[in-house]
Structure 1
Amino acid sequence: MPAPIVALVGLPNVGKSTLFNRLVRKSMATVRDTPGVTRDRRIAAAQWDERRFLVADTGGLTFASKDDLARQVQAQAEMAISEADVIVLVVDAVAGLTPFDREIALRLRQTEKPVLVAANKIDGPTMENAAAEFHALALGVPLPLSARNGYGFDQFLETLLAAVPEPAGPAGETTPIEVPRVSVVGRPNVGKSTLLNTLLGRDRFVTSPLPGTTRDAVSEEAVLDGRAFVFVDTAGVRRRGRIERGIEKFSIIQTMRAIEESDVVLLLVDVSEGLTEQDLNLAGAVAEAGRGVIVLLNKWDLLPRENREDPRFLDPIRHRLRFLSYAPIRTISAAERRGLRPIPAEILKVMESYSRRVSTPKLNRVIEQAVARHPPPRSARGAVKVKYAVQTRVRPPSFVLFTNRPGEVPVSYRRFLEHALREAFGFEGTPLRLAFRASDKERRGGGSSSRGRRARPAPGEKAAKSAPAGRAGGKGKRR
């Protein structure tokens, strides 16, 4: 049985996101004193006293506003209420009881679900009397607390855990099924939320023609074509000089964190505006993070027909993205639902490449054939010999090649060997990491290469990952 869900609802700026962060023990939701910061429904796991449940943070309910964005925020809150097992109505005890609190309480009483009233912003015992007027909501005894400093949180948590139902079904450990985590990133207003809503077949994420609608990195589990995925919608990233301090800056940090935590990134580009410098910056961030990637050129339907039918139209884009030459490039129209059907299969294909492990005999056979076909360029101090190779990790696939002169393998030859690996094993959509280290003979000081020299890291790999030659490899001699 899925974990029970606790939904946090209430007016804007009453402290729902602060309480959400305290419950899940992470700073996941954007928190500011400005009303209306939260828009999408964010769900995360919480565990207290060996009890596991999900917490849903929602946007503030605004009954006076009738614009489309406010209606979508309210629809997301209604969805959270309908899916919840327990509802927490968060109110501002300092501001006092409002007619809108009464309106929300009336709606919640109709659900016939357990409802707790969290009288927030009570920072100490001298303020507890402020919670008394919320008895008028007829939802039980209000629980005074401060989500910010933790006052009253223990009592609130004890009451909440008593209301959360125990998961049904047999006890015991279950083997988790690996689910790809897929983040959608791009500049503002390129269609990230629209793409995800279309893929999911429902309006899960708030959309608007206005840039900057999405502020948090919001995840959602989904099953497409019989396979489970976790999709993450992220805030659009503008050029560094245009980023405003506060909400936007924190949103960008969340987007970068989402990239780091992903298995596969869908890099969305508004092809009607062309490939911009900011698109290239984001592509560089994905490459640096070493994540699987698919480039989606959205709004393809907005291009003139002659461009869409020109087989060479994408050549300049491929050229500018040549540092992501391994990434598939697909043309789509999220709004028109065109070109989306193959995306789940593409994600799984990239995920398989990203997680692929090659046996050592097969790996060395390919390397030996490549070296025989095209030996390494001779250095000023003698011949460079590639002795053998091992795969050290996956996600992304990473290889160590042992040689007599690790610091003298040119970049062009690294690229040649990477190309040989891709020809032999595919690796579509995933970066490869190649590092060169001294072979056994050189480590013991028997070779002609410089001793104790650090191996130069592969392009895109941080120098800290390159171990000193005196420590690399095993103790015995490899043949």
Structure 2
Amino acid sequence: MKPLVAIVGRPNVGKSTLFNRLVGRRVALVQDEPGVTRDRHYADADWEGRIFTLIDTGGFVPGEKDSLLKQVREQAQFAVEECDVIIFVVDARVGMSTADEAVANYLRKSGKPVVVAANKLDNESGLMQSLAGEFFRLGLGDVQGISAEHNLGMGSLMDSVVAKLAPKVEGEDAEAPPDDGKIRVAIIGRPNVGKSTLVNAILKEKRVVTSEVAGTTRDPIDSEVTYKGNELILTDTAGIRRKKTIAHQVEQYSVIAALKVLERSDVAVLLMDATEPHVDQDAKLAGLSMDRGRALVIVVNKWDLIAEDKRKQDAFRDDLKIALKFVGYAPVIFTSALHGSKVEKVVDVAVELAKQFRFRAPTPQLNRLLDYMVDNNPAPIVKGKPLRLYYIAQVAAAPPTFALTCNAPEGVPDMYKRYITNQIRKTFDLRVPIRLLFRERPGKAKREARKKPHLAGKGGKGGKRAGRDRD
């Protein structure tokens, strides 16, 4: 699994701004007031070839009775429990506070690697002055002066973070799980939605051969299953340990569990509770599956407690499509794991999606599809010039990844990307994530060089035409 790096600190010190800066896009909501980040954001970041998963942690929620220090300590405890390195963000303009000291005391005792990021130093001289500042008194060692908003000091900060990570393990950055013929299925979901019950229901099928693969108290539990000639590894995240010292962290742990399991899975089975629909945590777990490029089956469990009514089922499915529209391609199955209802269908769909996950499309068929797409829905104008799509090829599977050669890779509108994705999905009947890469046509420098002599000449009509003809 990729290393985990958590950003912690008291409210309104710039944690989310730093998170967005390191991730390279605006993922977390940023606002100049405390308590905006009420949930956690997870995204991969890359620093000079070292890829890690970054976690943006939140502060307190205004109006709650719990004290600020208690909330901040819980955030720090959670980060210390699961992460490899912690970035402890402080506000250098305000200076050290009692909340900073409380978090620092806990981090110091933990022995986990910490880098202190003294944020909001918005000029180079401020960065230099911060190095001798009061935050060294926290006793955490490494202090880096930064301005997340103005992108100052990021290089030194990330050099320090990466230096504290354990040596890179071969294959830790590899996104696709091993292709050894086994189908790896991650059973993810909030606590008490029936994950273990579903796994047990699958294992108790009389016509499957099962064997238990022992896991540790911290790691998820794997079960190997032979099902209709397919070898599956079911991974139940229920085995994740929770320390007694950490209260109110049940949902956060389900996310960390899902991260660990998704890294080595082909298909994610997201279990939801029919009696508690549309929970934010379900959407987060679905988003993690999409971000990791994993095939997804949405399983609505405990349907026996609602009703065996097709109209209600259809209405529930429609609501899900709206609430989880970003994974609208994912199949939805209604089950009762306790009674074994449609459990077999869950496995059948997972096996089918695993095959689609490693699907490869013939290049000639892809390019015929590209011609059809451009003819049916011409590419838009980008920066005053028509977007031209020349060629498409599949460059990877698990998930299916397609590279399109064009004249403006950075300018392809999101709407047109969705159009291409939907056409590929429809043509090949794919219900798994699809990734698109847009690349410049080779030889751009040579074409530009050929144009220059004509542009520098007298500008006659023949010269201009000749330049275009050769291009």
In the superposition, the TM-score normalised over structure 1's length comes to 0.50
1:230 pairs with 2:253: no
User: Which of 243, 247, 267 pairs up with 2:270?
Assistant: 267
CA contact (8 A) 1:217 1:255 kept: no
Q: Provide the identity percentage.
A: 33
CA distance in 2, matches of 1:448, 1:366: 32
Cα deviation, 1:2-23, whole Å, max 9, x if unaligned, reads xxxxxxxxxxxxxxxxxxxxxx
Give the gaps of 5 or more residues in structure 1: 1-175, 206-213, 450-478
User: Which of 348, 360, 364 pairs up with 1:345?
Assistant: 348
User: Which of 336, 348, 362 pairs up with 1:359?
Assistant: 362
1:319 pairs with 2:306: no
User: Which of 416, 425, 434 pairs up with 2:419?
Assistant: 416
CA contact (8 A) 1:185 1:236 kept: no
1:11 maps to none
1:4 maps to none
1:49 maps to none
2:261 maps to 258
User: Which of 424, 434, 443 pairs up with 2:436?
Assistant: 434
1:384 maps to 387
Residue 420 of structure 1 deviates from its aligned partner by 0.8
2:203 maps to 200
CA distance in 2, matches of 1:342, 1:243: 38
CA contact (8 A) 1:216 1:251 kept: no
Report the 3-state secondary structure (helix = DSSP H, G, I; strand = E; otherwise coil) of the residue aligned with 2:421.
helix
Which letter maps to 2:317?
Answer: L
Equivalent positions of 1:91-106 (< 5 A) are none
CA contact (8 A) 2:221 2:239 kept: no
Q: CA 1:410 to 1:246, structure 2 compared with 1: closer, same or farther past 3 Å? A: closer
CA contact (8 A) 1:197 1:204 kept: no
CA distance in 1, matches of 2:190, 2:251: 13
Residue 343 of structure 1 deviates from its aligned partner by 2.2
CA contact (8 A) 2:191 2:254 kept: no
CA contact (8 A) 1:300 1:331 kept: yes
Q: CA 1:349 to 1:305, structure 2 compared with 1: closer, same or farther past 3 Å? A: closer
1:57 maps to none
Q: CA 1:374 to 1:252, structure 2 compared with 1: closer, same or farther past 3 Å? A: closer
User: Which of 195, 206, 221 pairs up with 1:218?
Assistant: 221
CA contact (8 A) 1:243 1:249 kept: no
Give the gaps of 5 or more residues in structure 2: 1-178, 452-470
User: Which of 357, 369, 374 pairs up with 2:372?
Assistant: 369
1:474 maps to none
CA distance in 2, matches of 1:447, 1:321: 49
CA contact (8 A) 2:211 2:225 kept: no
1:300 pairs with 2:337: no
CA distance in 2, matches of 1:431, 1:185: 17
Residue 325 of structure 1 deviates from its aligned partner by 1.4
CA distance in 2, matches of 1:250, 1:312: 31
Report the 3-state secondary structure (helix = DSSP H, G, I; strand = E; otherwise coil) of the residue aligned with 1:273.
coil
Report the 3-state secondary structure (helix = DSSP H, G, I; strand = E; otherwise coil) of the residue aligned with 2:314.
coil
CA distance in 1, matches of 2:251, 2:372: 51
Report the 3-state secondary structure (helix = DSSP H, G, I; strand = E; otherwise coil) of the residue aligned with 1:262.
coil
CA distance in 1, matches of 2:445, 2:240: 46
Aligned CA RMSD, in angstroms, stands at 3.3
Report the 3-state secondary structure (helix = DSSP H, G, I; strand = E; otherwise coil) of the residue aligned with 1:400.
strand
CA distance in 2, matches of 1:331, 1:396: 25
Q: CA 1:281 to 1:254, structure 2 compared with 1: closer, same or farther past 3 Å? A: closer
Which protein shows a greater Rg?
A: 1
Which letter maps to 2:231?
Answer: A
Equivalent positions of 1:44-83 (< 5 A) are none
CA distance in 1, matches of 2:390, 2:376: 15
Q: CA 1:392 to 1:204, structure 2 compared with 1: closer, same or farther past 3 Å? A: closer
Q: CA 1:289 to 1:243, structure 2 compared with 1: closer, same or farther past 3 Å? A: farther
Report the 3-state secondary structure (helix = DSSP H, G, I; strand = E; otherwise coil) of the residue aligned with 2:330.
coil
CA contact (8 A) 1:186 1:279 kept: yes
1:331 pairs with 2:312: no
CA contact (8 A) 2:193 2:271 kept: yes
CA contact (8 A) 1:185 1:255 kept: yes
Residue 204 of structure 1 deviates from its aligned partner by 8.8
Equivalent positions of 1:34-49 (< 5 A) are none
Which letter maps to 2:270?
Answer: L
CA contact (8 A) 1:186 1:192 kept: yes
CA contact (8 A) 2:220 2:239 kept: no
In the superposition, the TM-score normalised over structure 2's length comes to 0.51
Cα deviation, 1:366-395, whole Å, max 9, x if unaligned, reads 111111111111123211100101111000
Report the 3-state secondary structure (helix = DSSP H, G, I; strand = E; otherwise coil) of the residue aligned with 1:440.
coil
Could you say which structure has the higher helix fraction?
2
CA distance in 1, matches of 2:249, 2:189: 20
| Ranges of 4+ aligned residues in structure 1 off by more than 6 Å | 202-205, 245-251
Report the 3-state secondary structure (helix = DSSP H, G, I; strand = E; otherwise coil) of the residue aligned with 2:238.
coil
Which letter maps to 2:346?
Answer: I
User: Which of 291, 304, 310 pairs up with 2:294?
Assistant: 291
1:100 maps to none
CA distance in 1, matches of 2:449, 2:315: 51
